[in-house]
A and B are shown apart, each in its own frame.
Chain A
Amino acid sequence: MNSIRALLPYIRRNKRAAALALCFMLLETAAEAAIPYMTAGLIDEGLRGGQMDRVVRSAGIILLLSAGIALFGYFGTKFLSAFSAGTAGAVRSDFMRKLCFLSPIDLDGLSESSLTTRMTADISQIQQALQMLNTFLRAPCYIIMAVIMVFRISDSLSRIFVVTIPVFGAVVWLIVRASRKHLVRRARSTDVMNRYILENVTNIRLVKTYVREDSQGKGFTEQAGELRGHSMKADAIIGVANPSLQLFVNLCVCALLLIGGREAVGGSLKLGELLGLITYTNQILYQIILISMVVVPLLNVRVSVDRVLELIQRESRIAESADAKPLGPGGDIVLRDVCFSRTALSPEGGGTSEAEDALFRGITLTFRQGECVGITGATGQGKTTLVNLLARMYETDSGEITVGGERIKDVTLKSLRRHIAFAPQKSRLFAGTIADNLKYGRPDATDEEMTEAAKIADIHDFITGLPQGYETRITGDGNVSGGQRQRLCIARTLLSGAEVMVFDDSTSGLDKVTEERVIRGLCEGCPGKTRIIITGKISNLRHMDRIVVLDGGRVAGTGSHEELLRSSQVYRELCLSQNEVEP
């Protein structure tokens, strides 16, 4: 029960609700257990031809007890809901918080869909399981109280219950166990079938091209057939439960009538009491079925708990030191002998040999304050990774990075990242208005600043051309084209007010003319800010103060376009392949 123990801190945060829920549950159960006993008394009282007022008083007590069930049950449910919703809510909040504060590298091994499932479905399961905890605790309480009542009525007949309850419990347990194997197989079969359907649907053009509609259909029929088989077996076993419950209850009633009847004749049992015993039989065996219905989901919730806690218990590999200070303004960015290996990026992935895993083999580089620097090199040379190292998204293996003379390991992460703004390769926006998106990095930016940034990014005209302008609502991945999205991201970065701005191939989706305009805007229009622009196009690099060429894990050359044409073989080859031979 490790998982339950791990949940305890969250349960403890809601312990008042839990305790109250438990109290009311016990009161409700006691009331419910007492009623058949009181009803038996009422019947016997009435049959004896006794005073009516006694009968009416009995009826009154039963009425009160019933009202008690409703009242205690209502409050019990109220506090139970507070407990389960509150506990799950605390887990959810911690999960999100951890998710936010972990670095991308810490989320290794967890795909987006896995994280989403954990956050949504798994936590949902936990909440439902906590809700079911009530039934799980209530049923045994009722059974115990009911057996006590039965004992009070007739200790000889209570022996029937001592025998039948465990036997019936065992039967239910066997059914649950036997069905488990098939339920697991059914779940697996369902996954396989779903994957088959999904692949077919996403690859439908391929399927039609190669005229495989029917053969895919045959494959599917097989999958669905297998699923039917497992499902039938599971259902068939579970289907035995209800009829056996009915039979069991009814046979117990028969046994009660036989034995109890004889006792009634003999005078050691009253008729009302006999009826009470029949009622208890119904109730107790029904509670056993209730337990069986919650046992399996409760057992299965362990998986969800583990999955959720796995993230919450992760520690970030990129830690802020205890005495980190905020980063001061301005300053050059200096990299000294920085080394970094690819396996640090993805522990499973990695290249085909040890040597290939090393991405940077000693990078020494300076980005001077206010400079406009272009970074280029062939694909896979680590340009994006380099700038990610500046913002401490990954840790260098060795070497040092400083900003304004301070080591990035010594400053607060927040100040470092607010110092360096990013426009990434894959432009992504948030659901909301265009203005919300542009002001994401600095919510208190003025509208003038916003339009200024949009103008440099050459997206202002597009925005004002929309019916609602800057207040137009956009979805995360919908209604704007790729090129427009990129320019919005550029504007967002410009608006953030950071001293250093990194643009990672963020003009790749623009046509030549627009790209030229935006690059010139970035290079000429942001004095005082350090701009680092990653691009593969020589036509862009021409506009920059300085170009850095990465090759083979090192800086292969740095200087202006003309200088590099003369001094760097790698750069020359790049120009050649793009027909950019003129200086």
Chain B
Amino acid sequence: MKHTDLKNLLRLLRYMGERKLFLLCAGVCTIVSSVCAVHGTNLLRPIINDCIVPLIGDGSPEFGLLFRMIVTMGIYYLVSALTLLAETEIMIFVCNDTIFRLRRDMFSHMQRLPVSWFDTHSAGEIMSRYNSDIDVLANMLKQGLPQLVSGAVTIVSILISMVMLSPPLLAVVLICTAVIVMVNTFLFRRNKKYQRRQQSVMGDVNGFAVETIRNHDIMKHFAMEEETAGRFDALNGEYVSASMNSQLYAGSIFPLGSGLSNMGFAAIALAGVLLAARGMTDIGTIAAFLQHYKRFYTPVMQISRQVNNLIAALSGAERIFSVMDAPAEEDEGTTVPSGGGLAEGIAFNDVFFGYQKDAPVIKGISFELKAGGKMAIVGSSGAGKSTVIYLLNRFYEPGSGDITIDGISVRQIPKGTLRGMISIVLQDTHLFTGTIMDNIRFGRPDASDDEIIAAAKKVHADYFISHLPMGYKTPITEDGSMLSEGQKQLISIARAAVSDAPILIMDEATGMVDTRTERLIGEGLKALMERRTILMVAHRLETVRSADIIAVMKDGLITEIGSHETLMQEKGLYYELNMGSKELL
């Protein structure tokens, strides 16, 4: 166990420590359970030695003592089982509760992380924090940890009993156990090597499968079916032999362990018999020893496995804690612009920004946009257009320079207020599972149904929605396959409309939608843009032409800025982009 593992374990325990009382009870129950179980087994000795053996050959044996001792044994076992049950159930409660709190805290902290964190962590990675990492942790807490503790207590109490019963037999037990542990460890390590190979080949197999599925139509067009299937067969063959080896080593641990343990069992019986022949022990002790051995073997086998599981779980815990420790978005602002709306305007002052330190995407831009005005940013792809609009609502922070709203630096405005003033229509439509009404309401949770329908009407979305069989209550499925791209766009425009925010930032979509819906979207956007201050990245010629100010960006700088007429007269980049084409990319 490394130092970091220990730190994570302690942190985890502190998390569980919220339920200190329960943990204490569980601990007590574990100890009582193990001790009672061992003690019950110890009673085998007097039962056999004092209640059975002396009576052999007796004409009229008196079984009262036997009966009483067995009842006592039964009671010990009963107490052991009940406390074990109590401990199990307590730990189930504590663990599920801890997992719940971990998930909840991880999620709420994640919500405060900056957009850049989400850019650098794939969805798959994030999901596995909540799933496989937490699952492994949960298993460890529910089973691993309790088994380690109870196993340790059991081993200690059995060792003590064995020492008191017969040191020579204990020696035999220890030798057998040592041999078994060594063989097991050896096999375990061998197994890890084969397991790693199996995982790696499985990765190749799966990667090939995913690629084939994704590029299925390309394979069909080039008629490469036979070649693809052939290549896969080769990979598959490798996997079959890799998993055969891995399963062989993993699986043979059991029969080998069982064989050895049975040898040990017989060895103890033999040693016991030999010692009994010399009068150094008796049948009762042998019986107790054999039972103890059975109970001793399992925790010993489990300990090394559980320690490995513990380490694996702790590395998962580390990943979970790294999410919770990631720095949250900066939000130290306290100044609130008065009036709620935008009074004067937005200004960018010599703003620099780069996703990475030494690769600036925006290299010093400045402009002013008066309240109520519309500004369109155009330029070739990669020029940094979308980044500009995301700097306004502080998805990213500029490296240097300042952005102001009504003269107040956006850094000084609390993020909630700032973003409350800005609504957004993105390039890709994003919808949530839920009804259409729910999705539109996402723009303003306290909007009434009427307000939502009014907003939808305003942006020309109401027509198609009310003609759907379930209207506004139509559920949106996970992949949104029920609606066309254009319809989804209209819903997200309605969402922006309902939010009532004075500023709108827009990253215009470039996808091809059918002309009818395209026209509707154009009208919807026009309606949305009334009486708002607009900052947008635009592609459609008509959208750009309608802007008050057009800024042409190239290589992170604004090279031309002005109205459509002004720029056309300049005959610069804008003029060239404009000539003869409908789309400005």
A, B from the same assembly? yes
Chain A contact residues, CB within 8 Å of chain B: 28, 32, 35, 38-39, 42-43, 45-47, 49, 52, 55-56, 59, 62-63, 65-74, 76-78, 80-82, 84-86, 88-89, 92-93, 96-97, 99-101, 103-104, 107, 111-112, 115-116, 119-120, 127, 131, 190, 193-195, 197-217, 220-221, 224-225, 227-228, 231-232, 235-236, 239-240, 242-244, 246-247, 250-251, 253-254, 257-258, 261-262, 264-267, 271, 275, 278-279, 282, 378-380, 391, 393, 413-414, 417-418, 420-422, 424, 428, 430-431, 440-441, 476, 481-482, 496, 511-512, 536-537, 539, 577-580
Point out the residues of chain A lying under 8 angstroms from B57, CB to CB.
Answer: 267
CB–CB A239/B266 < 8 A: no
Known interface pairs A81-B251, A391-B221; A217-B111 also in contact (CB < 8 Å): yes
Q: A70-B260, A220-B104 are in contact. Are A240 and B419 (CB under 8 A)?
A: no
Distance, CA A101 to CA B224, complexed state (A): 9
B179 on interface, CB distance cutoff 8 Å: no
Given A206-B424, A224-B107, A242-B88, 17 other A-B residues pairs in contact with their CB atoms under 8 A: A67-B259, A85-B240, A101-B225, A119-B209, A194-B130, A197-B107, A205-B430, A216-B111, A243-B81, A247-B81, A250-B74, A258-B70, A265-B55, A380-B514, A420-B221, A428-B214, A511-B380
In the assembled complex, which residues on chain A have CB atoms less than 8 Å from the CB atom of B66?
A: 257-258, 261-262
Are B52 and A271 neighbours in the complex by a CB distance under 8 Å?
Answer: yes
Q: A96-B212, A99-B212, A116-B213 are in contact. Are A228 and B100 (CB under 8 A)?
A: yes
Q: How far is the CB of A133 from chain B (nearest CB, A)?
A: 12
Docked-complex contact A77 and B247, CB < 8 angstroms: yes
CB distance from A346 to the nearest CB of B (A): 9
Distance (Å) between the CB of B359 and the closest chain A CB? 16
Contacts of B210 in A (CB 8 A): 116
A307 to B288, CA, bound (A): 53
Asked if B207 is at the interface (CB within 8 A of a chain A CB), the reply is: yes
Q: Are A240 and B244 in contact (CB under 8 A)?
A: no
* Partner among B55, B88, B221, B258 whose Cβ is within 8 Å of the Cβ of A32: B258
Please pick, from B212, B217, B430, the residue contacting A206 in the complex, using a CB distance under 8 A: B430
B92-113 interface with A by 8 A CB criterion: 92-93, 96-97, 99-100, 103-104, 107-108, 111-112
Are A73 and B232 CB-contacts (below 8 A) given A216-B111, A578-B581? no
| Closest Cβ–Cβ distance, residue A226 to chain B (whole Å) | 10
Q: Are B52 and A235 in contact (CB under 8 A)?
A: no
Binds A, one of B155-163, B267-275, B548-556: B267-275
Bound CA span A32–B265, Å: 12
Contacts of B395 in A (CB 8 A): 205, 208
Q: How far is the CB of B539 from chain A (nearest CB, A)?
A: 12
Contacts of A82 in B (CB 8 A): 244
- Which parts of B49-91 form the interface with A (CB within 8 Å)? 51-53, 55-58, 61, 63, 66-67, 70, 73-74, 77-78, 80-82, 84-85, 88-89
Complex A-B, nearest 6 residue pairs according to Cβ-Cβ distance, in ascending order: A73-B255, A46-B273, A70-B259, A247-B81, A250-B77, A213-B111
CB pairs A–B below 8 angstroms (7 shown): A210-B443, A216-B111, A220-B103, A244-B81, A261-B48, A262-B66, A264-B52
Contact indicator B100/A225 (Cβ below 8 Å) = yes
Give the docked Cα–Cα distance between A285 and B100 (Å): 35
Partner of B262, one of A62, A257, A264: A62
B258/A203 in contact, CB under 8 A: no
| Set of chain B residues within 8 Å of A59, measured between Cβ atoms | 266-267, 270
Q: Looking at the complex, which one of B118, B215, B424 makes contact with A428 (CB distance below 8 Å)? A: B215
Kindly identify which residue among A107, A236, A261, A417 contacts B221, using a CB–CB cutoff of 8 Å.
A417
Distance in angstroms between the alpha carbons of A68 and B84 in the assembled complex: 36
> Which of A56, A69, A231 is B96 in contact with, Cβ under 8 Å?
A231
Shortest beta-carbon distance, B83 to chain A, in Å?
Answer: 9
Find the A residue at minimum CB distance from B248. A81
User: CB distance A131 to B247 under 8 Å?
Assistant: yes
- Asked whether, in the complex, the Cβ of B63 is within 8 Å of the Cβ of A262, the reply is yes
Q: Taking the complex as formed, is B211 at the interface, i.e. its CB lies under 8 A from any CB of chain A? A: yes
Question: Given A203-B430, A217-B107, is A428 in contact with B423 using a C-beta cutoff of 8 Å?
Answer: no
Q: Assess whether A100 is in contact with B212, with CB atoms less than 8 Å apart.
A: yes
Chain B contact patch, size range: 35 or more
**Pair A96/B256 contact, Cβ less than 8 Å:** no
B258:A224 contact, CB within 8 angstroms: no
- Inter-chain CA distance A380–B266, complex, in Å, is 80
Please, how many angstroms separate the alpha-carbon atoms of A247 and B81 in the complex? 6
Asked if B513 is at the interface (CB within 8 A of a chain A CB), the reply is yes
Contacts of A211 in B (CB 8 A): 415-416, 419-420
User: Does the CB pair A85–B244 fall under 8 Å?
Assistant: yes
B211 touches A66 (CB 8 A): no
**In the complex the two chains form, is A206's CB within 8 Å of B442's CB?**
yes
A contact residues around B580 at 8 Å (CB):
539, 578-580
Q: Does B342 contact A (CB under 8 A)?
A: no
B391 close to chain A: CB less than 8 A: no
Contact B240–A86 (Cβ < 8 Å): yes
A89–B51 contact, CB under 8 A? Answer: no
B residues in contact with A212, CB < 8 Å: 442, 445
| Neighbouring A residues of B21 by C-beta, 8 Å | none
Interface centre among B240, B415, B433 (most CB of A within 10 A): B240
Question: Is B220 an interface residue when CB atoms closer than 8 A count as contact?
Answer: yes
Q: Which residues of B contact A282 (CB under 8 A)?
A: 294
Nearest B residue to A221, CB-CB: B104
Q: Is the CB of A512 within 8 A of B214?
A: no
* A379 and B228 contacting across the interface, CB-CB below 8 Å: no
B420 CB contacts on chain A under 8 angstroms: 211
Q: Do the beta carbons of B216 and A104 come within 8 Å of each other?
A: yes
Contacts of A78 in B (CB 8 A): 248, 252
Kindly list chain B residues whose C-beta atoms are within 8 Å of the C-beta of A76. 255
Please give, as numbers and ranges, the residues of chain B lying within 8 Å of A536 by CB-CB distance.
512
Closest chain A CB from B404 CB (angstroms) = 20
Asked whether A116 lies within 8 Å of B209 as measured between CB atoms, the reply is yes
Contact B283 A271 (CB under 8 A): yes
Q: Does B182 contact A (CB under 8 A)?
A: no
B509 nearest CB across to chain A (Å): 14
Q: A232 with B220: in contact, given A243-B81, A430-B211 (CB under 8 Å)?
A: no
- B residues 520-541 touching A (CB-CB < 8 Å): none
Contact B254 A73 (CB under 8 A): yes
Cα A579 to Cα B542 in complex, Å, equals: 13
CA of A190 to CA of B100 in the docked complex: distance in angstroms? 12
Residue A247 contacts which of B77, B212, B416 (CB distance < 8 angstroms)? B77
When distances are taken between beta carbons in the complex, the residues of chain A under 8 Å from B82 are 243
Interfacial chain B residues near A539, Cβ < 8 Å: 580-581
Assess the B232–A278 pair: CB atoms within 8 A.
no
* A254 near B77: Cβ-Cβ < 8 Å: yes
In the complex, which residues of chain B have a beta carbon less than 8 angstroms from the beta carbon of A220?
103-104, 107-108
Residues 211-240 of chain B: 1 if any A CB is under 8 Å from the residue's CB, otherwise 0? 111111111111111101100110011011
The answer to whether A243 touches B84 (Cβ under 8 A) is yes
- B326 within 8 A of partner (CB): no
For the complex, is B206 an interface residue (Cβ under 8 Å from A)? yes
Asked whether A205 and B115 contact (CB < 8 A) given A247-B77, A261-B47, A393-B217, the answer is: yes
B residues in contact with A63, CB < 8 Å:
263, 266
Whether B130 contacts A73 by the Cβ 8 Å rule is no
Min Cβ gap A438→B in Å is 12
Is the CB–CB distance between A72 and B273 below 8 Å?
Answer: no
Which B residues are in CB contact (< 8 Å) with A56?
270
Cα–Cα distance between A421 and B220 once the two chains are bound (Å):
10
Q: A104-B217, A379-B513, A431-B211 are in contact. Are A440 and B224 (CB under 8 A)?
A: yes
From A32, A85, A93, B233 is in contact (CB under 8 Å) with A93
Chain A residues within an 8 Å CB radius of B274: 46, 55
Asked if B432 is at the interface of the complex by the 8 Å CB criterion, the answer is yes
Asked if A224 contacts B100 (CB within 8 A), the reply is yes
Cα A162 to Cα B533 in complex, Å, equals 84
Q: Given A89-B239, A207-B111, A271-B52, answer yes or no on A42-B273 (Cβ-Cβ < 8 Å).
A: yes
Contact A35:B266 (CB < 8 A) given known A73-B258, A211-B419: yes
Least distance between B336 CB and chain A CB atoms (Å): 14
Question: Given the complex, which residues of A lie within 8 Å of B381, measured CB to CB?
Answer: 482
